[in-house]
Amino acid sequence: MNIVRRLSAALLLAALPLAASAAHPFDGRYRVQPERVVWSNGQLPAGFSLTLDLAFEGERIHYRSVNDTNPRDPKRNDFYIELDNRPHPLPGYARYNQIQGRRLSASEYEVLHLQDGDVIVAEFWQFLPDARQLVRRGVGKSPEGRSKAFEEYFQRID
């Protein structure tokens, strides 16, 4: 019996690194479904194209995106979102210089883009139960100070 306990303990300890390194269920590449996107100002660009790469790393998210609606001038974002509900510096972006994130539930997140403490974009992410779709809703303020609400659907493609 003692051998069985030792063997069970050894197997459990061997499995711990595998569990710790397992991918988060929401890790992946998501592609916008433009036919399902709604912008309250009605100004969704023709051929709207956006891809998100998300990697959940403990209490932060590595966010990378490419908006290649204009393939000659793609717009890229690459930053970390700390999930501690505090603003963190985000250097190198003209519209905002801080990012703030928090988990709302097991499948929902709030992400705020701020300029010196002023919310420029508020996003609410919801991963649907199959983890194959992401819905991003929120409000954003343009450089001209005009706000619009948005609802964007993404399909996981990896």
Domain ranges of the chain: 24-156
- Tell me the average pLDDT across 143-158: 95
pTM: 0.84
Whether the predicted pLDDT of 72 surpasses 90: yes
Within 13 A of 110's CA, how many CA atoms are on the CB side? Answer: 14
Whether the predicted pLDDT of 13 surpasses 50: no
* Domain 24-156 superfamily per CATH: Calycin beta-barrel core domain (2.40.128.20)
Whether the predicted pLDDT of 46 surpasses 80: yes
CB 54 within 8 A of CB 61: yes
Q: For 82-91, what is each residue's pLDDT tens digit?
A: 999 999 999 9
CB 124 within 8 A of CB 105: no
Q: For 103-128, what is each residue's pLDDT tens digit?
A: 999 999 999 999 999 999 999 999 99
